[in-house]
């Protein structure tokens, strides 16, 4: 077994597929391949997976991800058709669409790349940065004035520490990275206090949901302290990007549209960031200079 190998934990019945991030003497630090979970396990408890397609957990996660993406595309197409019909009925002027811009900070480089692919697929303007969770507050402070996004996603890896018990789940010290996410959210809120002017989406697997909301997030994980899929924060950001500024984001739609559902993601009423402009830019052919 070596760094980069795909493995499952025997004691957990192989429920989650991991990649070995770091090898220590007797233990290994693991990162979920489909879920935003950071864990460690004794090496003797790990089993190498040579064919990831043979892993039932990984296969099921991909099926759910594809279903969620399909739902999002259908919603996007339906919203676009409704807007087009409404405009056609009211006026003949062509218009253009301006979805909300996303700044995506991710503690996992592979997840960041997958997230950017999905933003591109859904035509959402996005700027992605791979940064360790411990550095996110500093990067938020530096990048927000430069990028000026409508939506910021602060995510990576997290998890409840093995030493914690149920009575300690409201203590930030019981989580691997929730404190780092909270610090980053607070910096974002110092930059922009209004939750409608800057939408903040924060957290990862088993993150301290209540602390993230209290620090200023609009949406956060994880109400039920469950594992969330790597792309769940992206789905929320896309929904926010394509919801009209005249409407609140449908909480039921966005939460149930994620892979992890209501135990994985929650949030508060928030206005969307989608705008319509008019007239649509034209090809400026044959324009004669006048000066």
pLDDT in tens, 15-69: 788 889 899 888 998 988 888 888 888 999 998 888 766 555 555 656 565 666 6
pLDDT at 150 > cutoff 70: yes
For the segment 166-181, the average pLDDT, to the nearest whole number, is: 92
Which of 80-84, 172-176, 236-240 is least confident? 80-84
Question: Which stretches within the chain are classed as H helix?
Answer: 56-90, 109-121, 136-147, 178-191, 209-214, 232-241, 251-257
Residue 152: which H helix or E strand, with range?
A: strand 151-155
CATH architecture for residues 6-54: Roll (2.30)
> What is the average per-residue pLDDT within 72-95?
60
**C-alpha–C-alpha distance, residues 144 and 123, integer Å:** 21
The reported pLDDT for the residue numbered 248 is 96
Asked if residue 7 lies in contact with residue 20, where contact means CB atoms within 8 angstroms, the answer is yes
Rounded Cα gap, residues 263 and 190, in angstroms: 29
Sign, Cα dihedral of 110, 116, 120, 121: positive
How far apart (Å, rounded) are the C-alpha atoms in residues 189 and 202? Answer: 12
Task: Determine contact, residues 61/52, Cβ cutoff 8 Å.
Answer: no
Q: What are all long-range contacts of 17-24, with beta carbons under 8 Å and residues at least 24 apart?
A: 17/49, 17/52, 17/55, 17/57, 17/58, 17/61, 20/46
279: Cβ–Cβ under 8 A, 6 or more apart, which residues? 93, 94, 95
Which pLDDT score, from 0 to 100, does residue 171 have? 93
Query: Quick check: 177 pLDDT over 90?
Result: yes
Tokens standing for residue 222: 């994880």
Share of the chain above pLDDT 90, in %: 56
Tens digit of each residue's pLDDT (9 = 90 or more) over 86-116: 555 456 667 788 999 999 999 999 999 999 9
The mean pLDDT of the chain is: 87
| pLDDT above 70 coverage of the chain, percent | 84
Q: Which fold has domain 65-277?
A: Rossmann fold (3.40.50)
Where does CATH 2.30.30 sit in the chain? Answer: 6-54
Segment 190-217 shows an average pLDDT of 97
Per-residue tokens: 160: 């409840």
In the chain, which residues fall in CATH 3.40.50.2300? 65-277
Give the separation between CA 25 and CA 37, rounded to whole angstroms.
Answer: 22
**How sure is the predictor about 289, in pLDDT bands with cuts at 50, 70 and 90?**
confident
Q: Half-sphere exposure of 228 toward its Cβ, with a 13 Å CA cutoff?
A: 37
Does residue 9 carry a pLDDT above 90? Answer: no
Residues 275, 245: contact at Cβ < 8 Å? yes
Higher-pLDDT residue of 116 and 81 is: 116
Per-residue pLDDT averaged across 279-291, rounded?
72
């Amino acid at each position: 077994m070596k760094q980069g190998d795909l493995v499952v934990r025997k004691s957990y019945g192989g429920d989650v597929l991991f990649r070995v991030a770091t090898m220590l003497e007797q233990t290994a630090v693991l990162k979920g391949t489909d879920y935003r979970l950071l864990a460690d396990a004794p090496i003797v408890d790990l089993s190498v997976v040579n064919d990831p397609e043979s892993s039932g957990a990984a296969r099921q996660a991909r099926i759910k991800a594809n279903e969620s993406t399909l739902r999002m595309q259908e919603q996007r197409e339906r919203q676009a058709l409704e807007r087009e019909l409404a405009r056609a009925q009211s006026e003949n002027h062509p218009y253009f669409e301006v979805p909300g811009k996303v700044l995506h900070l991710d503690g996992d480089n592979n997840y960041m790349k997958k997230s950017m692919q999905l933003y591109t697929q859904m035509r959402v303007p996005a700027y992605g940065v791979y940064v360790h969770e411990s550095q996110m507050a500093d990067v938020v402070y530096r990048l927000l004035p430069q990028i000026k996004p409508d939506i910021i996603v602060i995510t990576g890896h997290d998890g409840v520490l093995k030493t914690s018990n149920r009575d300690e789940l409201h203590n930030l010290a019981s989580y691997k990275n929730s404190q780092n996410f909270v610090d980053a959210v607070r910096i974002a809120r110092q930059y922009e206090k209004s939750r409608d002017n800057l939408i903040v989406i924060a957290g990862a697997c088993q993150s301290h949901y209540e602390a993230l909301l209290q620090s200023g997030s609009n949406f956060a994980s994880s109400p039920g302290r469950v594992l969330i899929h790597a792309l769940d924060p992206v789905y929320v950001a896309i929904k926010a990007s394509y919801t009209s500024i005249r409407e609140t984001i449908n909480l039921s739609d966005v939460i149930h549209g994620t892979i992890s559902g209501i135990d994985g993601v929650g949030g508060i009423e928030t206005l969307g960031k989608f705008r319509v402009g008019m007239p649509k830019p034209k090809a400026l052919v044959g324009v004669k200079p006048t000066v």
